[in-house]
């Protein structure tokens, strides 16, 4: 079997998978750009088989795949752990495990070993499929279990905090993303990252943990410095600018609303984010599918999509700073949360200082809820008033 690096097109056949789940697999494959995956119906064309063994004839289907297609790599997919060593895809399926397991199967690597599983505690409670699904915050999970208590779909506007995306490490990175010369971001007289516009690559000079700390430091002093041509550094720059912006937005937002978007502004995605190459946000695929259809505001998204409010706001922030979000103007007379599309010239002020200088809300303060203007009386109401003399 050829290695994945020599296989630009990988054909996958699903066994025991219904049409709805097949569509989700197909959607995930279309978003994956490192290797082209394609669903096929003919096992003679397949490079790998994914066998769902949770159906009525699941185990028989696995045995049939073994006997009829012994030379095709197989992936065992189930909510239960297998009783033998195999390339195992646990359900509910997650994007971050799907592709590594497929690669492992193609390379003949076993991802689940019975001996390793036996070494774990034996008193683990066996959860139902829907109970397990609730424990995952993922993009390919089956429908979550419906609670007996109706979910409150009221958008918690009075609990929303905002943050300024033009300051700190996120703001500085947004600014250098428009540079045409090689630049570095300096913190405490040390470079934390370097950007090479000619190849659109970023060299991360410190550990991710340090970058996360800087993102969450509102008072950090960041200097932008031109560094000239350095091929020896550029050849080690592997990260894409959009990936950095996405990750920095998640670390900075932490469940807060970016101040460039009002909660009542209709928003939509201009294109799908490449979720397989970006920092993980729970329910990102569901949000992407919903926001590519038509513009809708945050309260409506929260009402229609069962998603944690922090995950929703993190996704909105990340999509906005990577220029994937289309934001429509707020209705005239509507209060706004902040000013959009303005990059700070300096990044040595805290979010609170920036908010005070610009007249916007503090990042740590609870903003006032934008209120829609009262609608004028309808024609019927005005006619009734005339008829009644009121």
- Structural contact between residues 195 and 178, judged by C-beta atoms closer than 8 angstroms: no
**What pLDDT score was predicted for residue 31?**
67
Stretches in the chain below the pLDDT threshold 50: 1-7, 121-149, 332-377, 387
Q: Give the pair of three-digit tokens for residue 258.
A: 């970016």
For residue 310, CA distances in Å to 98, 256, 277, 281 come to 25, 7, 21, 10
DSSP letter at 4 equals G
Query: Does an H or E element contain 216, and which?
Result: none
Rounded Cα distance between 27 and 140, Å, is: 10
Q: Residue 90: helix, strand or coil by DSSP?
A: strand
Q: What is the pTM of this model?
A: 0.52
Task: Take residue 168 and report the two structure tokens written for it.
Answer: 């700190």
Structural domains for the chain:
4-129 (3.40.50.2300), 158-368 (no CATH)
Tell me how far the alpha carbon of residue 209 is from its chain's centroid: 19
SS3 (DSSP) at 49: strand
Alpha carbon distance 317, 295 (integer Å):
16
Residue 203, helix vs strand vs coil: strand
C-beta separation of 133 from 145 below 8 A: yes
- Token representation of residue 24: 């989700």
The CB density around residue 313, as the number of other CB atoms within 10 Å, is: 25
pLDDT of residue 89: 92
**Sole residue written with tokens 């993102």:** 215
pLDDT at residue 34 in the model: 60
Closest CA to 37 of 90, 105, 91: 105
Give the burial class of 288: count Cβ atoms within 10 A of its Cβ; 0-12 exposed, 13-18 middle, 19 or more buried. buried
Residue 278 CB contacts under 8 Å (≥ 6 apart), including other chains = 242, 243, 246, 247, 284, 318
Bridge partners, residue 38, by sequence: 11
Q: Which residues contact 36 (CB under 8 A, 6 or more apart)?
A: 8, 9, 10, 29
Q: Which helix (H) or strand (E) holds 73?
A: none
Residue 267: helix, strand or coil by DSSP? strand
């Amino acid at each position: 079997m050829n290695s994945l690096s020599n296989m630009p097109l990988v054909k996958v056949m699903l066994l025991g998978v219904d049409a709805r789940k097949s569509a989700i697999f197909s959607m995930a494959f279309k978003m994956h750009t490192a290797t082209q995956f394609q669903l096929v119906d003919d096992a003679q064309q397949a490079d790998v088989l994914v066998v769902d063994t949770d159906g009525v004839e699941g185990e028989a289907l696995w045995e049939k795949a073994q006997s009829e297609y012994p030379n095709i790599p197989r992936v065992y997919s189930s909510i239960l752990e297998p009783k033998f060593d195999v390339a195992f895809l646990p359900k509910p399926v997650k994007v971050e495990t799907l592709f590594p397991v497929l690669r492992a199967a193609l390379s003949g690597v076993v991802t689940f070993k019975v001996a390793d599983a036996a070494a774990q505690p034996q008193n683990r409670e066996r959860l139902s499929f829907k109970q397990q699904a609730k424990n995952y915050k993922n993009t390919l999970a089956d429908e979550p279990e419906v609670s007996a208590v109706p979910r409150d779909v009221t958008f918690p506007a009075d609990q929303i905090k905002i943050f300024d995306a033009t300051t700190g490490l996120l703001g500085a990175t947004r600014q250098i993303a428009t540079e045409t010369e090689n630049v570095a971001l300096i913190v405490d007289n040390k470079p934390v990252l370097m950007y090479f516009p000619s190849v659109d690559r970023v060299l991360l000079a410190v550990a991710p943990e340090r970058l996360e700390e800087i993102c969450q430091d509102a008072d950090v002093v960041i200097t932008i410095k031109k560094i000239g041509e350095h091929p020896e550094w550029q050849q080690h720059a592997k990260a894409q600018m959009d990936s950095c912006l996405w990750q920095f937005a998640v670390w900075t937002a932490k469940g807060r609303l970016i101040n460039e978007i009002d909660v009542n502004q209709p928003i939509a995605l201009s294109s799908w984010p490449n979720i397989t190459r970006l920092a993980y946000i729970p329910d990102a695929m569901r949000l992407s599918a919903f926001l590519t259809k038509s513009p809708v505001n945050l309260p409506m998204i929260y009402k229609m999509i069962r998603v944690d409010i922090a995950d929703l706001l993190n996704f909105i922030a990340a999509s906005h700073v990577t220029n994937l979000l289309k934001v429509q103007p707020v209705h005239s007379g509507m209060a706004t949360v902040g000013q959009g599309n303005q990059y700070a010239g300096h990044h040595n002020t805290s979010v609170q200082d920036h908010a005070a200088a610009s007249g916007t809300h503090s990042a740590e303060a609870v903003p006032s809820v934008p209120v829609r203007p009262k609608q004028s009386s309808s024609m019927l109401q005005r006619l009734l008033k005339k008829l009644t003399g009121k």
